[in-house]
Amino acid sequence: MKRPPALVLLTLLAWTQAVSAATVVVVYPTDPSAQTTGALTLLHGELASVGLEDSTIERPAPSSPDGADLRPWLEQLAAERDAIAVIDILSNDQVSAIDVWVRKSPGRFEVTRVTVDPDMPNATARLAIRTLEALRASLLESDLATRYHRDEPPAKPVSPAAPLLPQPREPARERRPASEHEPASEHEHIRLELGASVLMSPGGVGPSILPTVRGGWALRPSLLVEVAFAGLGHNPEVTTATGSARVARSTMLLGGCYRMWTDRAIWPYFSLSAGAQHTTVEGLGGLGMDTHVAQKWSFLADAGLGTAMRLYRSYHLTLSGHAQMAYPYVAIHFGEPVAATTGQVNVLLSLGVGAWL
């Protein structure tokens, strides 16, 4: 018999109220790793968000090689703690699978295995979200079945069926992150960043403040191909007793960036790039000297180290430092003596705001 949508909605609201004081037991492996501890924290937050209380317990060592005694132990654990479900974290070093055991009736459990690819971005957080969806689906299904049979005429008694072995089924559909502190979408492929950089040359040329644009394409969650441009900013002057000159520099780079701990709010990264530096030196004249302009292109090598912090969904703030070397470097002189150099060793400090598109 079909139920009207309004009745289904009332059932959903009733289930939300019914689980507000229910308990869920979370079982974790012996000597939990950092990933397992993170999964426990995320599960605690997800369960609390729907009004479920949770308690944790360490999984005992199995008395048989294949762990066949797990089901009786889970039944006893659920009975002792009056729990409606048991969440079992299977792995330790890389948390990639969780079993959700829901008590349908005394002595009868139904299990759903939730899995996630450990190499995907924010795997631990996604696994916690999918676990809550699987728990919701099983509890709601059980509640609807109970209400349906309550309205039907009593059926003829049948002999109880033997318990079936737990069968994995497809993981519940993942919901979209709804909080600014949750991980960004898995479709992080193209990155755009705008910011500013300070370029310094210990050889005597003052610092330049340069607008900076960076673009990236993700080959893998942790590995990016990046292109960067910095230029068209403040041009410092080199002044001596015999003359002065204005120095304009711009850089273009192509390289790779490796990110670590991408499932966290703050993650470090390092980069290696190569490209070109364009330098323009404009003599300002004076003391009988004519204005003179010289330009030079140089090969540029860049090594960078930085950190990024997630701001909101796909937006993040980056801060990085870079060591650069140009060949050939540029020497500025008025007459014979060299007044300053740029490119022998450059130091670049960059601050930017980026987003995944």
For residue 68, give the 3-state DSSP assignment: coil
Q: Is the pLDDT of residue 203 over 60?
A: yes
* pLDDT-derived band at 18, boundaries 50, 70, 90: very low
What residues are paired with 212 via a beta bridge? 195, 230
15-24: average pLDDT: 58
Q: Is the pLDDT of residue 17 over 50?
A: no
* pLDDT-derived band at 1, boundaries 50, 70, 90: very low
Instruction: Determine which of 1-15, 36-50, 89-103, 215-229 has the lowest per-residue pLDDT on average.
Output: 1-15
217-238: average pLDDT: 90
CA angle 77, 94, 258 (to 5 degrees): 155
Query: What region does 213 belong to: left with phi over 0, alpha with psi -120 to 50, or beta?
Result: beta
Q: Is the pLDDT of residue 59 over 80?
A: no
Q: Is the pLDDT of residue 151 over 70?
A: no
For residue range 260-273, what is the model confidence (pLDDT) as tens digits?
Answer: 887 788 989 999 99
CA dist., res. 246 & res. 282, Å (int): 5
Strand 244-259 and strand 223-230: pairing? antiparallel
- Report the sign of the C-alpha dihedral through residues 162, 167, 170, 173, in that order: positive
Q: Is the pLDDT of residue 7 over 80?
A: no
* pLDDT-derived band at 239, boundaries 50, 70, 90: confident
**142 token code pair:** 């059980």
CA dist., res. 54 & res. 21, Å (int): 10
Instruction: Determine which of 42-46, 144-148, 264-268 has the lowest per-residue pLDDT on average.
Output: 144-148
Which of the pair, 185 or 139, is modelled with greater confidence?
Answer: 139
CA dist., res. 178 & res. 12, Å (int): 20
Q: How many CA atoms lie within 13 A of 63 on its CB side?
A: 5
299-311: average pLDDT: 93
**66 token code pair:** 């294949």
Q: Name the residue type at position 160.
A: P
For residue range 106-137, what is the model confidence (pLDDT) as tens digits?
Answer: 667 788 888 877 777 777 788 888 888 888 88
What residues are paired with 151 via a beta bridge? none
21-41: average pLDDT: 80
Q: Which residues in the chain belong to E strands, given as ranges? A: 23-28, 53-58, 85-89, 97-105, 108-115, 190-200, 208-220, 223-230, 237-239, 244-259, 266-283, 293-312, 315-327, 330-333, 338-342, 346-356
Highest averaged pLDDT of the listed ranges 10-19, 86-95, 316-325: 316-325
CA angle 4, 9, 11 (to 5 degrees): 100
**What share of the chain in percent tops pLDDT 90?**
25
pLDDT score for 52: 78
Count of residues for the chain?
Answer: 357
pLDDT score for 13: 44
pLDDT score for 92: 67
pTM surpassing 0.85? no
155-179: average pLDDT: 47
Tell me the domains of the chain and their CATH numbers: 16-151 (3.40.50.800), 190-356 (2.40.160.20)
pLDDT score for 186: 52
CA dist., res. 294 & res. 247, Å (int): 10
